[in-house]
Amino acid sequence: MKDCIFCKIVKGEIPSVEIFQDKVAKVFLNINPASKGHLLIIPKEHFENILDCPDEILSHLIKISKKMAQLVKEKLGADAVNIANNSGKEAGQEVFHLHFHVVPRYKDDGMKLDFIGKKDLKDDLEEIRKIIIS
């Protein structure tokens, strides 16, 4: 994808502050960080989102995400981490190249990541389960 910003980062056409890379993935600091040490983990090959990425690459990316989470806790003193992926425009994806965010969390950082339940859907759980597994 020649217009993809992450593909350009992989090719070295756009600079990044690299933390790690191997044959499959690249990890770099987010230029618009939500917290100190906010990382992005991307596959070097272009996949739009989690749904079109082969399982073996996806597995590799999540293992790297875990290692990076451990690293920011150890090296930056983060108290916790969020590992996030947005797949699709309606899920908040802005760059359409698969990526995971590793967001270090610090005590009293004021960040919120809330999933507010919709009580009106609670009564539909069994019906939704049937649809999903059918």
Residues tagged active-site: 99
First to last CA, the chain: 36
How many residues in total does the chain contain? 134
Residue type, 44: K
Amino acid at the residue 75: K
Phi, psi of 3 (to 5 degrees): -100, 0
Task: Tell me how many degrees the CA angle 36-34-113 measures, rounded to the nearest 5.
Answer: 120
Which of 29-48 are b and which e, b meaning 16 or more Cβ less than 10 Å from the residue's Cβ? ebeeebbebbbbbbbbebbb
Angle ∠(45,46,52) on CA atoms, nearest 5: 110
